[in-house]
Amino acid sequence: MDIKNSKRKLGNSGLEVSALGLGCMGMSFGYGVVADKRQSIELIRKAVEMGVTFFDTAEMYGPFTNEELIGEALASYKGKVVIATKFGFNIQDGKMAGVNSKPDNIRKVAEASLKRLKIDCIDLFYQHRVDPNVPIEEVAGTVKELIKEGKVKHFGLSEAGVKTIRRAHSVCKVTALQSEYSLWWREPEDVILPTLEELGIGFVPFSPLGKGFLTGKMNENTTFDSSDFRSTVPRLSPENIKTNLVFVDLIKEIAQRKNATPTQIALAWILAQKSWIVPIPGTTKIERLIENLGALNVELTATDMQEIEIATIKNKPVGDRYSEGSAKMIDR
């Protein structure tokens, strides 16, 4: 399947994007080492050439430098790509200083993001994390005004719970929810996915490769630098990685049979769930980009899906997906 002909619509919004997007956070933030800017621009443009039309960033990534990178890389593709960015944090001295979704901050972020991204209108504007101090109706109302003003096209939420999604959607139509979802983190299946389907909202899973674990490239000796956020993830502690490798072994077995890679199996599995789900795997390497897009050529049979299902029931991952501090910011 050619990704150029592989499009998906995010729910009932009419927003059409490539079946796989590109998460750009890791080029500037989160993994300890900041990628070479020239190489990152080359990778983003290569993604466009290969048919990717959906790019994910946020003011928080850097902060600010990731949006600037995306703005420079995609400047000549205006109207041909969809750029999603996010608001919702206080940023002081280059660091996150708590959530802030007050209307004046949302407006301030929108204006700054438009300049950094070199665009006239933000395609998809997510609330990065729910702010318990600002009613979600107020947040949705502010974004609705920005849509009327032509500064934003679509409203999104990230890591929001069902009640918040419903309340926001009643004020301003929510186009997409971005939350973690993978073979390794399936909680959204309980109540989130049925709610999104009911309301006609698209789903954009981040970390579809389990923060790199499902690629099969980690082993019990894998460690992370203290500047890499994964060093704080309980699920990726040395003792838990050792236990959780059983899970990856299964994916490797299926990948071998399918003449695919574990990465491609993990992404193909997500793509097979619903037609309105668009994962956004991130990478800083062109060969990994090509590998990720190869998932579109992998077809999992009903037997494959059943085998994966049985194995995931038997082998529950050990350890939380976030550190205690990060977990507190997740809306329930």
Give the model's pLDDT for residue 279: 98
- Domains defined for the chain, CATH in brackets: 3-209+273-298 (3.20.20.100)
Give the model's pLDDT for residue 194: 98
Of 122, 182, 118, 116, give the one whose Cα is nearest residue 147: 122
21-70: per-residue pLDDT in tens?
999 999 999 887 888 999 999 999 999 999 999 999 999 999 999 999 99
Separation of alpha carbons 160 and 155, rounded Å: 13
Q: Which residues of the chain have pLDDT under 70?
A: 1-2, 4, 327
217-261: per-residue pLDDT in tens?
998 889 898 888 998 999 999 889 988 998 899 899 999 999 999
* H helix or E strand, kind and range, residue 293: helix 286-293
Token pair belonging to 78: 């205006």
Q: DSSP character for 212?
A: G
Give the model's pLDDT for residue 1: 52
| Whether the Cβ atoms of residue 219 and residue 246 lie closer than 8 Å to each other | no
Of 80, 62, 54, 73, give the one whose Cα is nearest residue 118: 73
Of 10, 9, 81, give the one whose Cα is nearest residue 49: 81
The Cβ of residue 324 has, within 10 Å, a number of other Cβ atoms equal to 9
How buried is residue 179: exposed, middle or buried, by Cβ count under 10 Å (0-12/13-18/19+)? Answer: buried
| Whether the Cβ atoms of residue 48 and residue 81 lie closer than 8 Å to each other | yes
| Catalytic-labelled residue, pool 31, 61, 126, 181 | 61
Strand blocks (E) in 108-215: 122-127, 152-158, 174-180, 202-206
* H helix or E strand, kind and range, residue 266: helix 262-271
Is 322 part of the annotated catalytic residue set?
no
Q: Do the strands 174-180 and 202-206 form a parallel or antiparallel pair, or are they unpaired? A: parallel
Tell me how far apart the 2 most distant CA atoms of the chain are, in Å.
54
Give the model's pLDDT for residue 2: 64
How buried is residue 298: exposed, middle or buried, by Cβ count under 10 Å (0-12/13-18/19+)? Answer: buried
Give the model's pLDDT for residue 72: 98
DSSP state string for 296-329: GG----HHHHHHHHHHHHHSPPPS-SS-HHHHTT
Separation of alpha carbons 204 and 152, rounded Å: 18
